[in-house]
Structure 1
Amino acid sequence: MKKKDIIEFEVDKMEFGGTSVTLIGNREVHMKGGISGQRVKAAVKRTRSGKADVKIIELLENSPIETEETCKHFNECGGCTILSVPYEKQLEIKEKQVMDLFLKQDLFGFQFLGIQGSPEDKLYRNKMEYTFGDEMKDGPLTLGLHKKGKHIDILTVDGCVLVDQDFTTVLTSSVEFFNEKQLPYYKGMNHKGYLRNLVVRKGVNTKELMVNIVTSSQVDFDMNEYKEMLLKLETEAEIVSILHTVNDGLADAVQCDELRVLHGRDYIQEEILGLKFKISPFSFFQTNTKGAEELYTMTREFIGDHADKVVFDLYSGTGTIGQVMAGAASKVYGIEIIEEAVVAANENAKLNGLTNCEFVAGDVTKTVKKLKHKPDLIIVDPPRPGVHKDAIRDISGFGSKEIVYISCNPKTLVLDLVEFRNYGYEVEKVKCMDMFPNTPHVETVVKLKKVR
């Protein structure tokens, strides 16, 4: 087997994160994508001792476990890679993948409580970030998601099963509107063009909708006509926020140079477990609202009653977890590096009448040292890269008897748990929560206890 060879094989083991590993002879063949039992044709990208990296060219035969009905974009869109697998089987696969990661790091001897499925495995997303482009070079304007394995081609995903009809209505109406206006989309190669992204957010429990059109400043276009078009749409949720974000950044990411409010307010509200939260256009909020309620309930059960104790909520974002836990603590301190999120967190605490919550802006590694109180319990909910080693050292240095770690990436989670073990913390119990049905991702909640 050498570079540029074309090979055919049956996919063996699915690994966490949407990759697969197949043993061919004495060589491990690693591939992005692939479902156990599929027969594929692939091109060899590179080889090294005992390993090879390949890229799928063609799906020759479906897997016997692919028995579920899919959407019309499946295999073209890069989103729901395991939509064809029945949901119960998806949960079984994810549970095993997470446990394999724990065992690889010699993490065992804890109570494993399995995996909890999402209350809804379809129509569950409360946020979508769409990109303007075209499906083929010089084709008509499209608005949607990147095609699988493509950096440029955009597919208008009007049949997506992860979002409800409100998202589809806004998506299709927007692409029709801007097609008529013949405005150029922004091309990342030469940084020329106008239309960049459309971000739609929904308060699932409050029935509030936000539409945020993102453009460069290269065209002087009056967005009021677009606003009027949106307000005439028939949607289940009320459109309470229409925004125009100007983004002249070179990166292929939604960032804000200027925010213009075209209609209503610059936030929507959502309710989680009886608490209200303001969600601004750029603040982090779990994308599966009903799943988030289950996740936070699970976390609260892991924590138990800490009515007379101090809780640290690290990487606190807009303060959802800290506030949900506030009823079971004497004091909650939240630390988050993004200042806008901290402002929102303190506003949300005030909105909910919580006087025992305080959110502080700063880097976790530096800020934890400055807090006056020592924690009885620490909640850690870091971004995908996990917790920095220095932060693990400082967090452990507080000597908290318990740590609850919520992770959206079990690959970095298990590495962090090994580090915590070096500071005297052992894993007491673990439970997975599937926040992202039909995708390769899963949340994991771990309770650590200080043993030495």
Structure 2
Amino acid sequence: MRCGYFDVGACRSCTLMGVPYADQLADKQRGLEQVLAGHVDTGAWGAPVASRESGFRNKAKLVVGGTKAAPTLGILDGDARGVDLRRCGLYEPGLDRAVTLLAERLAGSGLTPYDVPARQGELKHVLLTHSPAGELMVRLVLRSPGQRRRAVELLEVLADTPGMPPVRVAGINLQPEHKAVLEGAEEEVLSAERTLPMPLSGRTLHLGTRSFFQTNTAVATRLYEQVAAWVEDLAPARVWDLYCGVGGFAVHCAAPGRQVTGVEVSPEAVLSARRAAGSTPGLHFRAADAGAWVQEQDPDEHPDLVILNPPRRGVGAELARWVEGSRVRHVVYSSCDAASLTRDLEAMPSWRPVRARMFDMFPQTRHLEVAVLLERRAGR
């Protein structure tokens, strides 16, 4: 892949840009195996799951800069001035079209881009998510409600713009603080629909405005399918999906006669997960801190298999100790950080990885996702 923004030095976010993709994939796999060499035997590794080199991102998180008449959508440079990246080659085709049309409509909206050095202006960010069904979630992040009316008008214009993917969910977020965060605590959903359906491999997840979902839909689907296949081979009667988010793993691992419980600290994500579950027998979700929740459960009720899908920092010492001392027979661990995965595996010496696979969610960068299937060592 070639990128004009990278070539002229306007954006260097894609640190591997220009490296042949086959080399990127091989280098990532090799590096991952080296980091996990003390835990994962060479024979446990499956073939890495590749991505498209370009056109794979389902979301755009765009900083708004420039002026009211000539806004930029992209990032900020070293002086905190807007750099326009509206034609980034990583976007899915529908998302690419949405970013282009939004940028055109933004210039006539009357919204004032937030000027970071001057600490003035209103529109800080535009956040877009594109679904496999070709629908959009569009969120505008404002400093204050002062230009709410113009923001609402822009969202209405976008919904009626020829060629624009259908806007399923539209909202305004308020982020009044002068700091480098994407969004604030106050959210107003303007559309009748509050979640964006994400149909994947015969199942449909639902994303709320604050829901996390992998950036690469195609590779995320392969990840869910792989974990579901491992689980199906083991045929556990009871599964806990900890840090379940909107329920991706839990929904894919549900099966007749199986009890699957997802646990997630975000109430909004749990509502989305429950919507995805519908009336599926045996599939339930709880809004709770995963580490605290497992400590409250009766040891006689421990599941056969636990899925761990923590944030980048990993599960940490407390939950790792619980896994180590539990009656669980198998663990599936999905990680976006090999270093934290290594720390957690070191804290669980009774477990050994018997399957492992790398999923290239983020081509052109060194970031990746890895999933491992763990079983107890003999005699433990």
Output the TM-score relative to the length of structure 1.
Answer: 0.76
Partner residue of 1:94?
Answer: 28
Q: Secondary structure at the match of 1:116?
A: coil
Change (3 A) 1:102 1:390: same
SS of corresponding position for 1:198: strand
Q: Which runs of 5+ in 1 are unaligned?
A: 1-68
Aligned to 2:200: 272
Question: Are residues 329 and 199 of structure 1, via their aligned partners in 2, closer, same or farther at CA, if it must alter by over 3 Å?
Answer: farther
Instruction: Give the Cα separation in 2 of the matches to 1:216 and 1:99.
Output: 45
Counterpart Cα distance in 1 of 2:195 and 2:245: 16
Match of residue 121 from structure 1: 53
TM-aligned CA distance change 1:190 to 1:257, over 3 Å:
farther
Report if the CA contact (8 A) 2:324-2:348 is conserved: yes
Q: What is the percent sequence identity of the aligned residues?
A: 27
Counterpart for residue 111 of structure 1: 44
How much has 1:434 moved relative to structure 2? Answer: 0.9
Name the stretch that deviates more: 257-266 or 272-281: 257-266
Residue 80 of structure 2, aligned match among 138, 152, 167: 152
Aligned to 1:8: none
Q: Tell me how far apart the structure 1 counterparts of residues 368 and 276 of structure 2 sit (CA, whole Å).
A: 27
Per-residue deviation, 1:307? 4.3
Tell me which residue corresponds to 1:361.
Answer: 287
Q: Which has the higher strand share?
A: 1
Letter in 1 for 2:73: L
RMSD of aligned alpha carbons: 2.5
Q: 1:283–1:340: 8 Å Cα contact kept in structure 2?
A: yes
Match of residue 240, structure 1, among 145, 162, 168: 168
Matches within 5 A, 1:25-44: none
User: Does the 8 Å CA contact 2:263/2:289 hold for their aligned counterparts?
Assistant: yes
Query: Is 1:441 aligned to residue 367 of structure 2?
Result: yes
Displacement after TM superposition at 1:123 (Å): 1.1
Q: Distance in 1 between matches of 2:69 and 2:19?
A: 33
Q: What CA deviation, in whole Å up to 9, does each residue of 1:67-120 have, x standing for no partner?
A: xx41211142133221312221111010011011113x46546522231212x3
User: Which of the numbers 277, 287, 299 marks the counterpart of 2:215?
Assistant: 287
Q: Alpha-carbon deviation of 1:244?
A: 1.9
Q: What secondary structure does 1:420 align onto?
A: coil
Change (3 A) 1:221 1:381: closer
Structure 1 match to 2:143: 216
> What per-residue deviation string (whole Å, max 9, x for no partner) do you get for residues 307-359 of structure 1?
45111111111111011001276111111111211122122211xx3121121
For 1:98 and 1:228, the matched residues in 2 are separated by 46
Q: Distance in 2 between matches of 1:328 and 1:442?
A: 33
The residue correspondences of 1:9-24 to structure 2 (distance < 5 A) are none
Q: Which residue of 2 aligns with 1:35?
A: none
Cα distance change, pair 314–151 in 1 and its aligned pair in 2 (3 A): farther
The Cα shift of 1:187 comes to 4.2
1:416 aligns with 344
Contact 1:307 1:329 in 2 (8 A): no
Specify the alignment match of 1:297 in structure 2: 225
Q: Deviations over 1:133-191 (max 9, x none)?
A: 249xx9953111344xx372332212211113433343344344444455433345565
1:8-407 paired onto structure 2 within 5 Å = 69-74=1-6, 75-103=9-37, 105=38, 107-108=40-41, 111-118=44-51, 120-134=52-66, 140-147=70-77, 150=78, 152-181=80-109, 183-188=111-116, 191-204=119-132, 206-217=133-144, 219-222=146-149, 223-235=151-163, 237-307=165-235, 309-327=237-255, 330-350=258-278, 353-372=279-298, 373-407=301-335
**Structure 1 residue 426: Cα displacement:** 1.4
CA contact (8 A) 1:110 1:427 kept: no
* Partners of 2:256 and 2:224 in 1: CA distance: 13
Equivalent of 2:352, from 423, 426, 434?
A: 426
CA distance in structure 2 between the partners assigned to 1:329 and 1:315 by the alignment: 23
Q: Give the deviation of 1:197 after TM superposition.
A: 0.7
What is the distance in 2 between the residues matched to 1:360 and 1:87? 41
1:272-312 deviations in Å (ceiling 9; x for gaps): 12111211111011221111111111112222345451111
Note closer, same or farther for the CA distance 1:207–1:170 as it changes in structure 2 (3 Å cut): closer
| Distance verdict in 2 for CA 1:407–1:273, change over 3 Å | same
Q: Tell me, yes or no, if the aligned pair for 2:122 and 2:144 is still in contact at 8 Å.
A: yes
Structure 1 residues 416 and 174: alpha-carbon distance in aligned structure 2, compared to 1, 3 A threshold = same
Distance across 2 between alignment mates of 1:283 and 1:428: 31
Return the letter of the residue paired with 1:122.
Answer: S
Instruction: Please state whether the residue corresponding to 1:152 is helix, strand or coil.
Output: coil
List alignment gaps of at least 5 residues for structure 2. none
- Scaled by the length of structure 2, the TM-score of the pair is 0.90
Q: Which has the higher helix share?
A: 2
The structure number with the bigger radius of gyration is: 1
* In 1, Cα distance between equivalents of 2:96 and 2:232: 41
Q: 1:237 to 1:225 in 2, by over 3 A?
A: closer
- Give yes or no for contact 1:210–1:241 (8 Å, CA) kept in 2: yes
